[in-house]
Amino acid sequence: MSPFRHLSNLTKPTFQCANIKCVNPEGVEAIAFFQLLQICCILCALIEFVNIYCKFVPTCLFFQVVRIQSPEHGTKRIQSSGSEKISNFLNKVQNEFQVGDIGWTVYKDRQKNFPIRTSRVKTLANYDIHHGDMLFLSFESDASSRQTQDSVVASTSTAIPVDSKKYSANSTVSNSSTVPHLPHKSIVLDEVDEILEKEDGKVERQRNEQLCHHGPQGKCLHCAALEPYDEEVMKSCKPPTKFFSFHSYLRKLTGGVDKGKFANLEDITCKIKDGCTEHPPWPHGICTKCQPNAVTLNRQIYRHVDNIMFENPKIAERFLNYWRSTGRQRLGILYGKYEVHKDVPLGIKATIFAIYEPPQESSKNRIQIMKDENDELVKSIAEKMGLHPIGWIFTDLMAEDLKKATVKHYRGNQDSHYLSAEECIMAAEFQNKYPNPCQYSAEGKFGSKCVTVVVTGDSKNQVHFEGYQVSNQCMALVRDNCLIPTKDAPELGYVKESSSKQFVPDVFYKVKDEYGNEVIELARPLPVEYLLVDIPCAFPVCPRSFFNVSASKPFPVENRESLGEIQDFNALVQYMEQFQPNDFLEAMSDFHLLLFLATCDMLPLKETISIILEAVKTKDKNLAHKFKKSEEWATVEEMMAAQ
């Protein structure tokens, strides 16, 4: 019997099922209503079919995204399916988090009560893992948690070996921002960095009588301590600075809720990644996986060194004597220490103790550095006295009036440059040679504290010392052999174009046009001023001296044979004759003398030179007396007596 037999007698016939309710409005004919009713029945049947289908079809046929959370690396998302084997899923976790084969476990809950064990039989559906679920990655030990798996990293990025004592300088880092941090203990920081890491860095302010309405023990918005990276702090410095100190910049990165947990400093790279197997090597092939990204240069807002200080003016005077005597330019390597700079919040000061002059050939307008056989030996001697290479210095002087002792001013004005492109490239070479250890970089190093000092004429035609560094981006361009100087404009560099031997990505920089709009230009050519960071260079009000600078006849400087200053045994005899026997420590406190004693083959002091180096470092007269009474120095005294 038809269920609709009475519908024709109804004024407003209705039909209702589990999903759809239909009401026949006034004036609608019965035939049209029956057609509408049939459509409703079909829709209802489709809905019921879908409900039944979804109950019997497993969810494992659909793709799903599972979240993995780790206290070391944050949260990552892994695409999978319910039918995926647990072993395959854990391999994805291993590849995504760059962890080793052992030492870690994935749990279903934060309390670590339900571990997910590897299995080639069980699937995600067996563990009741669905789309959007959160799993938790836990490490059993620090050593295994941070161990990088070479087989996994080789296909995605360059390996990052970690040594428990010292980081290998030959390793590189991938471009991914998810690279795990190296443990702090594996990176040997500079002494000044360790000191600044422990400091609070906040700048205290006095109570403002006009704005503060609280007692002397209270604090408010107008007198609360400021962070070292606050703009008001930078303006209050004397003189005001436009650069953050590097540690202030780190405090800015590590501030906030996460306390810098995910802070990662990374240098740009302009090289093709090695090991890509999907195509022939360049120039026969390249892909998006191995191709470096285009680079947009930015002006650096921080600097690794905030001040350059000569310990004593006589150090610079002795260096300048070469130009005064010959008229030829001179280059030297600065040896000294990095110290805390009190005038800038969390600042660093490079203090110069001595200048080593490597072998070189120079003229009035050029300097060519020769190969130095004693380079490593000089570093070793300086390190035993607590000194390190902290930069380089060169002269660019031209006399204007010999009677007035004035020099020409042709650097830093509107028609000239601060540093030429060649000098910027040279500065970048030195900075790449002496990198800055940093625990917030996956490579274990970031930037450099190496400084550049230029001796030139100022606006008053007087000899002036100017300090610079090049930006980290300039260091990367020079490291990857992408930046070259131009022939006719010293203030312009040029980013190389790609060739069959080298792929070079596009490099851009931002500049304001004639209308004040910020536009992006291709760095061919590139104003090198864009890459500079200027640093104040000064002399102390109260000079001090690590080495003896008061000798009437100082020991000759190395590699000055063209000037008539020769380091030989006769020079040693003449130098020692001006000191009394009780002034042996003062006599030995000459940087150039110590280099001569350590490098002279005719003197038997190579085995015992460490004693006098330690005595000079600690100013220990007893230790110096011990060296004087040694058989080796007695032999030297006999040779001097026979001279």
Per DSSP, the residues of 153-216 read HHHHS------SS---TT----S-TTPPPPPGGGS---HHHHHHHHS---B--PPPTTT--S-T
Q: Are residues 76 and 44 part of one domain?
A: no
- What lies within 8 Å, CB to CB, of 124 at 6+ separation is 60, 64, 66, 80, 81, 82, 83, 84, 86, 89
CB atoms within 10 A of CB 328: 19
Pairing mode, strands 399-401 and 406-407:
antiparallel
Name the 3-class secondary structure at 362.
strand
Answer whether residue 151 shows pLDDT above 50: no
**Tokens at 326, concatenated:** 């010959």
**Tokens at 433, concatenated:** 């040679």
Average pLDDT over residues 363-374: 92
Q: Is residue 386 part of a domain?
A: yes
Given 144, 172, 204, the domain boundary residue is 144
Cα separations (Å) of 286 from 158, 342, 449, 504, 508?
Answer: 17, 51, 36, 12, 21
Average pLDDT over residues 490-519: 89
User: What is residue 358's DSSP assignment?
Assistant: -
Higher pLDDT, 130 or 174: 130
Average model confidence (pLDDT) across the chain: 82
Q: Are residues 355 and 324 part of one domain?
A: yes
Q: Are residues 137 and 101 part of one domain?
A: yes
Q: Total structural domains in the chain?
A: 4
Q: Are residues 66 and 16 part of one domain?
A: no
Answer whether residue 156 shows pLDDT above 80: no
541-562: pLDDT as tens digits: 999 989 988 888 899 999 999 8
Q: Are residues 73 and 112 part of one domain?
A: yes
Q: Are residues 110 and 41 part of one domain?
A: no
Name the 3-class secondary structure at 462.
coil
Predicted local confidence at residue 313, as pLDDT: 94
Answer whether residue 61 shows pLDDT above 60: no
Average pLDDT over residues 421-438: 95
Say if CB 412 and CB 464 are below 8 A apart. no
Q: Are residues 461 and 584 part of one domain?
A: no
What is the CATH number for 99?
A: 3.10.20.90
Predicted local confidence at residue 179, as pLDDT: 37
Q: Are residues 77 and 34 part of one domain?
A: no
Q: Are residues 473 and 583 part of one domain?
A: no
Given 144, 169, 197, the domain boundary residue is 144
Answer whether residue 55 shows pLDDT above 70: no
Higher pLDDT, 234 or 376: 376
Q: Is residue 505 part of a domain?
A: no
Predicted local confidence at residue 62, as pLDDT: 56
Cis check for the bond before 283: say yes or no (omega within 30 of 0): yes
Give the 3-state secondary structure of 267-327: CCCCCCCCCCCCCCCCCCCCCCCCCCCCEEECCCCEECCCEEEECCHHHHHHHHHHHHHHC
Q: How confident is the model at residue 262 (pLDDT cuts 50, 70, 90)?
A: low
Q: Are residues 586 and 472 part of one domain?
A: no
Cis check for the bond before 556: say yes or no (omega within 30 of 0): no
168-201: pLDDT as tens digits: 333 333 333 333 344 445 788 899 999 998 888 8
Q: How confident is the model at residue 289 (pLDDT cuts 50, 70, 90)?
A: confident
Q: How confident is the model at residue 148 (pLDDT cuts 50, 70, 90)?
A: very low
Average pLDDT over residues 380-390: 95
Look at 142-146, 352-356, 494-498, 542-546 and tell me which has the smallest mean pLDDT.
142-146
Tell me the whole-structure pTM to 2 decimals.
Answer: 0.71
Domain with 108, as residue range(s), is 61-144
Q: Are residues 120 and 23 part of one domain?
A: no
Answer whether residue 412 shows pLDDT above 90: no
Higher pLDDT, 463 or 220: 463
Average pLDDT over residues 351-379: 93
63-93: pLDDT as tens digits: 788 899 887 778 888 888 888 888 888 888 8
Predicted local confidence at residue 60, as pLDDT: 45
Predicted local confidence at residue 26, as pLDDT: 52
Q: Is residue 547 part of a domain?
A: no
Cis check for the bond before 525: say yes or no (omega within 30 of 0): yes
Percent of the chain beyond pLDDT 90?
37
